[in-house]
Amino acid sequence: MKTKEKFEQWILEEDHPCIMAQTVFSQEHVKTKQYGKLGDPQHTKILLKDLEKYIAEYDFETNDFKSFIAVFPESTIATEDEFERLLWKQLEEIEKIDTVDWDPSVSRDPEDDNFSFSIAGRSFYIVGMHPNSSRKARRSPYPSIAFNLHVQFEKLREMGAYEKVRDKIRERDKELQGSMNPMLEDFGLSSEAKQYSGKATGKDWVCPFHQLETE
């Protein structure tokens, strides 16, 4: 079974709690591509080019929701701590070679409540997934990163649909897991960096991401 087919089975046939994920897969508005090992600088240049292409081809005037999923089938990850470390290493490798300024609408500081990761000048909500996640909704067939443009969530707010969609997803996630995901917060209430890996973090958690110093 091909990578995309495995994700389609996980999202659609197994009735994934995220209704937005179901929408992009059912409408074929998701791009999946393989990149070897998570956190490996060797694949990062290609990944960044693919993300830049994804951004260039996205119609910012539409209300369509689209997603890009980077899959790392060569990585075998045993723990959530290991995945978190490699996830942020991968994001840091992207940041190192991204020549476009950070999206000015969000913060570069992962401790800031307004933080969001920026790629090619556009802010993204990052969803890290792997087979050994403690959250069932994050147990993807392979270690993966879903890149979702932040502007899409803002469009949901403009349409008056954000709260309804958010509440439905959280309700379905609770039904699947048996408990609410303690890390979920609306943007601006707490740094979304805590949500990226899917691991539950405490008050003393420090984001592994190290910003490159700029002159």
pLDDT in tens, 94-114: 999 999 999 999 999 998 999
Instruction: Name the pTM for this structure.
Output: 0.90
d(CA 177, CA 85): 24
What DSSP element (H or E) covers 64?
none
Q: Identify whether 74 is part of a domain.
A: yes
**Domain with 93 in it:** 3-159+171-195
Average pLDDT, integer, range 166-183: 79
Predicted local distance difference test score (pLDDT) of residue 142: 96
Residue 187 pLDDT > 50: no
Q: Identify whether 140 is part of a domain.
A: yes
Residues 166-201: b if buried by 16+ CB within 10 A, e if exposed: beebeebbeeeeeeebebeeebeeebbbbbbbbbeb
pLDDT in tens, 194-205: 999 998 888 888
Q: Dihedral sign for Cα 25, 30, 33, 34, please.
A: negative
Residue 144 pLDDT > 80: yes
Predicted local distance difference test score (pLDDT) of residue 79: 95
Contact 72, 35 (CB under 8 A): yes
Q: Identify whether 214 is part of a domain.
A: no
Supply the mean pLDDT for the chain: 88
Q: Identify whether 145 is part of a domain.
A: yes
Residue 173 pLDDT > 70: yes
Q: Identify whether 213 is part of a domain.
A: no
Which of 41-45, 153-157, 184-188 is least confident? 184-188
Overall domain count for the chain:
1
Predicted local distance difference test score (pLDDT) of residue 212: 40
Q: Identify whether 141 is part of a domain.
A: yes
Q: Identify whether 209 is part of a domain.
A: no
Residue 211 pLDDT > 50: no
Q: Identify whether 206 is part of a domain.
A: no
